[in-house]
Structure 1
Amino acid sequence: MYLCVVASLLLIVTARETESVSPCPVKSFIWGPGLNPKIVLPARYFYVQTVDSLGHNFTSSPGENVFQVKIFAPGEQHSRIWVQVLDRKDGSFIVRYRMYASYQKLQIEVKVKDVHVAKSPYVLEGPVYHESCECPESRPSEWLRHMKCPKSIPQIQHDLQLFQTVDLDRIAKEIPSRFGQRQSLCHYVIKHNKVYLKTYGEHVGFHIFMDAILLSLIRKVKMPDVEFFVNLGDWPLEKRNPGKNLHPIFSWCGSNETRDIVMPTYDLTESVLETMGRVSLDMSRFNLLERKGQSEERLELVKLARQHPHLIDSQLYGPLVKQISFFDFFKYKYQLNIDGTVAAYRLPYLLASDSVVLKQDSIYYEHFYNDLRPWMHYIPLKSDLSDLLEKIQWAKENDEEAKKIAQNAQEFARSNLMGDHIFCYYFLLFQEYASLQVNEPKVRDGMEVVEQPKDDLFPCACPTELVCCNPLKFLFQWAYHGYQRVGW
């Protein structure tokens, strides 16, 4: 309690709701995968929940600069770590950090002024590998345990139930013959934790997204040997009633009229891989805007319904305007999720915002749609949008209920669509699919190896593997890192 009093005297709270209440460092709490050295993500993250001296959680921002976070490698002259503290405006914060080198130990300090928060400092005993480090966990069960992956995922079970077995020699001939001329496909083989591919079709550039997630996975964990085909186009391919020629096709989108095996979309996958790597959409940034005021309740979202101009009364709402940046969507209270070519791949980001989502009923779906519930995570709309204005009016008249729906959607995104969840989904999908194979995956004619990106600046050693298999290489790596540390 003494520490809480000291912190209260030191801290000037800027949020109006908390003018007389200050965060209590010892009662606030910290949790998340970024505190586990075994969980390797492109950008690691953890949460901080602000709590006052009476044990009550803050429900609004205590000020974006309340917490000071320092992450470093003890004993290293320079820690190549980028840290970002994001105020979620609801009393909690996301702290995320991206490492550009691997370390034997990492220390995480979270303070309010000079007082440590919760169990800070957290010491992560290494090795703590950075994203580009190729040191896969040889025991998939251990990797799954550290990642806290679920034992099974209903969508994966649903998609694979039609395939009691998979004859790799048969599909290697039949799928290119059936789809290879008219569609864009990529034939992948993962063998001995190496990735090989062959493309079919004219427009195959999107294989870079699949390459990237597979290379990232094999850097982290020993993958099963597996052979599969990825649809690189927009529309799912395998028809619902193909007779005896049912083929397993992996796609980023599914539909009620097809049998494709769905994966996280390339857009969501890229956002996971590029988080903090460059300016891009990512799940954790869209939880940050303050709740919109009543003055911003204009029906701006109607301007997004360009596919349905008959709904727009220009005299009532004004003429159509120029498109706005996706980052500007979240200035508004209500968001429309309407199909484009297929499912609108923006939905994960809309759910993570603090706007309430109005989602169109659709035959298309992404890998997580079956876990969403209407009126709990979004306001449902008819497929023809004929009830759009009615549902907006409901949201305006039931503001607290709409706010609760938005909060539920945020929590869903936090619990199901962050980077660790996406890696779990991919691994479990390939693990389950591999168990259906009746013959060994093989590197077939015309396939090329997909090389790991070079990381010449910050190479990493995998001590266990190198000691048992190549001691000379290990000694060389050890000497190299010692040279780097002391700056000879």
Structure 2
Amino acid sequence: MEAAEAKALRLARSSPSAAPCPPVNSGVLIFFAVLVAGALVSAGWMSTSARLQVTPITRVASPTTRAHNAAAAPEPVPGSPRFTGVAASTNQTPSAAESLAPPPREATAVVPAAPAPAEEGATPRECPAYFRWIHEDLRPWRGTGVTRGAVEGARRRYAPKFRVTVVAGRLYVARYGRCFQTRDVFTQWGILQLLRRYPGRVPDLDLVFDCQDLPVVDRRRQDQPPPLFRYCGSEATLDIAFPDWSFWGWPELNIKPWEALRREINEGNAVVNWTDRAPYAYWKGNPKVGAERPFLLWCNVSGKRDWNARVYAQDWGKEVRYGFRDSDLSKQCTHRYKIYVEGRGWSVSEKYILGCDSVALMVRPRFHDFFSRGLSPLRHYWPVRGGRGMCRSIQFAVDWGNAHADKAQEIGGNASRFVQEELTMDRVYDYMLHLLTEYARLLRYEPAVPRGAAEVTVESMTRGRPGLEREFMMDTVEDGASGRGPCRLPPPFSPQELEALRRARADVVRQVEAWEKN
């Protein structure tokens, strides 16, 4: 789903047909015993995670495996380690001294308009836990604020592709470069719809945006980092993660806007029960990009070995010719397990995989988008090794899930509920609103329309748009204020909470790796 994948459209005529990639062998059968405790209990704004009991297993061979391979004698794994899984956040509420209260804005700053009234008698619900990362993403500017010089510095140093300015509820865009396909168009369309959804609530602001896959603002080399928005970030960088363009549709790949596609994926889940799905791990995409995907090629089935993976190369030429009829994401929830592996950078495919009710096997991601830090290993997904250990790690995960169907279904169900309940377009717009509002509070100057910027309206954006571009815009246009109002932004993390959260997640991943070794 990355830019490199979509770029293959230009080479479509010469692309190979979709077929399983080169295989390697089948692994030994494993016994092991563990107890998986549920996620940490959160108070008030986070529900209690269900407990996952992992009992001793014997590998259950799939019908295909039994037909082609004699059953090997399993070996018991000594010891039954016990651990606690990780919730999306911790329970502790930061003290006043530890909170990240923003400094007061200068007198010249524009004050946000008063909140729009909510529906009568309605109490705004608390935002999902991943909204807490808004505070953390903006932490580098809490002390100094954001100056006009910092914004201009980001433009000069990192060559962002466009600049977004909101003044008195109107959107202005200055274009500095070209984004791949319509990434910039649908990102700006999304911000425009936010203004229509919450009129008077989006404060005056000024920011620069890049639409490349990889974050670039090095955390280690920034005394006064420039604020730069993009679709993903990482632990090593300070780029500010923002919802990606595909939430409003990806016309070049005929991927529908998220709200419609999310419902279709949910409906597709009901067509094939989890236990009736193929008992393997599925992946389809461009295997020629990124550091990890070449290793994935060797995890496919062959006459010599079955790693429990079914890997397919996407034939972009065929999909273009036939209107992507074989790439309907709502009809790809037919395997018990789906693999998420990054390409050159972060991939938009993550939300489609998580929504499938299948167990998401996530190959050691290096990047995060705006919501993925709300996911927890063994609660929402199964962590998988990268590199040369990938095939064995995938095989182990599938063997475990097939032998513990109820626990595997619980993990898959947690992920799909996250998508259906915490990643709706309501929450996407609320995240945008809270992120931009908190960012605007940090501005040390009054935003003004920059030289070369033009006002962006529904009419200006839809005028002359061809085919699916216009169709997706019309499908996602907001026709008025949201009566319910946004969810309530949860408090920042304390340093102790962040440290405990990161340590607990790392402990879970290490525990899974220990099971694999044994």
* Structure 1 length-normalised TM: 0.59
Whether 1:374 and 2:377 are equivalent positions in the alignment is yes
Corresponding letter in the other structure for 2:212 = G
| Match of residue 471 from structure 1 | none
Whether 1:142 and 2:117 are equivalent positions in the alignment is yes
Whether 1:334 and 2:337 are equivalent positions in the alignment is yes
> C-alpha distance in 2, partners of 1:431/1:303?
38
Cα deviation per residue 1:96-153 (whole Å; 9 max; x = unaligned)? xxxxxxxxxxxxxxxxxxxxxxxxxxxxxxxxxxxxxxxxx96325369776463992
Deviation at 1:220, TM superposition (A): 2.2
Correspondent of 2:358 among 355, 359, 367: 355
Deviation at 1:225, TM superposition (A): 0.3
Shift in CA distance, 206/445, structure 1 to aligned 2, threshold 3 Å? same
> C-alpha distance in 2, partners of 1:276/1:147?
32
| Match of residue 137 from structure 2 | 159
Whether 1:203 and 2:182 are equivalent positions in the alignment is no
Cα deviation per residue 1:237-290 (whole Å; 9 max; x = unaligned)? 21111232411111111112211111122223548xxx9987996222211223
SS in 2 for 1:336: strand
Structure 1 or 2: larger helix share? 2
Cα deviation per residue 1:398-450 (whole Å; 9 max; x = unaligned)? 11111111111122112210011001000000100011011101111111111
Whether 1:396 and 2:402 are equivalent positions in the alignment is yes
Shift in CA distance, 203/215, structure 1 to aligned 2, threshold 3 Å? closer
Shift in CA distance, 402/167, structure 1 to aligned 2, threshold 3 Å? closer
Equivalences for 1:29-428 in 2 at 5 Å? 139-140=114-115, 142=117, 148=125, 150=127, 153-164=131-142, 165-180=144-159, 184-203=160-179, 205-221=182-198, 222=200, 223-270=202-249, 282-288=261-267, 289-290=269-270, 291-292=272-273, 296-299=277-280, 301=282, 306=287, 307=293, 308-315=296-303, 316=305, 323=314, 325=327, 326-384=329-387, 385-386=390-391, 387-428=393-434
> C-alpha distance in 2, partners of 1:378/1:147?
29
| Match of residue 467 from structure 1 | none
SS in 1 for 2:263: helix
Cα deviation per residue 1:47-100 (whole Å; 9 max; x = unaligned)? xxxxxxxxxxxxxxxxxxxxxxxxxxxxxxxxxxxxxxxxxxxxxxxxxxxxxx
Deviation at 1:167, TM superposition (A): 3.6
Shift in CA distance, 147/210, structure 1 to aligned 2, threshold 3 Å? farther
> C-alpha distance in 1, partners of 2:479/2:371?
35
> C-alpha distance in 2, partners of 1:148/1:420?
12
Q: Is the 8 A contact 1:231 1:237 kept in 2?
A: no
SS in 2 for 1:311: coil
| Match of residue 435 from structure 1 | 441
> C-alpha distance in 1, partners of 2:185/2:150?
23
Q: Is the 8 A contact 2:283 2:310 kept in 1?
A: no
> C-alpha distance in 2, partners of 1:461/1:348?
27
Deviation at 1:372, TM superposition (A): 0.9
| Match of residue 509 from structure 2 | none
Shift in CA distance, 351/411, structure 1 to aligned 2, threshold 3 Å? same
> C-alpha distance in 2, partners of 1:420/1:461?
14
Corresponding letter in the other structure for 1:200 = Y
Shift in CA distance, 276/234, structure 1 to aligned 2, threshold 3 Å? closer
Corresponding letter in the other structure for 2:139 = Q
CA RMSD in angstroms, aligned pairs only: 3.5
Larger radius of gyration, structure 1 or 2? 1
Structure 1 or 2: larger strand share? 1
Cα deviation per residue 1:152-204 (whole Å; 9 max; x = unaligned)? 92110110011124344203431221122xxx421111000011111223436
Q: Is the 8 A contact 2:113 2:203 kept in 1?
A: no
Q: Is the 8 A contact 1:191 1:226 kept in 2?
A: yes
Shift in CA distance, 361/322, structure 1 to aligned 2, threshold 3 Å? closer
Cα deviation per residue 1:333-390 (whole Å; 9 max; x = unaligned)? 2111111222221222222222221112211111112211111111111233241111
SS in 2 for 1:353: coil
Corresponding letter in the other structure for 2:397 = K
SS in 1 for 2:174: strand
* Structure 2 length-normalised TM: 0.55
> C-alpha distance in 1, partners of 2:362/2:265?
18
Corresponding letter in the other structure for 1:430 = L
More relative contact order, 1 or 2 (CA 8 Å, 6+ apart): 2
> C-alpha distance in 2, partners of 1:356/1:236?
28
Shift in CA distance, 460/397, structure 1 to aligned 2, threshold 3 Å? closer
> C-alpha distance in 2, partners of 1:277/1:389?
33
Corresponding letter in the other structure for 1:166 = G
Shift in CA distance, 281/257, structure 1 to aligned 2, threshold 3 Å? farther
Shift in CA distance, 343/276, structure 1 to aligned 2, threshold 3 Å? closer
State the identity as a percent.
20
SS in 1 for 2:206: strand
Deviation at 1:294, TM superposition (A): 5.0
> C-alpha distance in 2, partners of 1:374/1:278?
28
Shift in CA distance, 151/314, structure 1 to aligned 2, threshold 3 Å? closer
SS in 1 for 2:438: helix
Q: How many residues align?
A: 320
Unaligned runs of 5+ in 1: 1-136, 463-488
Shift in CA distance, 196/279, structure 1 to aligned 2, threshold 3 Å? closer
Corresponding letter in the other structure for 2:263 = S
Q: Is the 8 A contact 2:197 2:479 kept in 1?
A: no
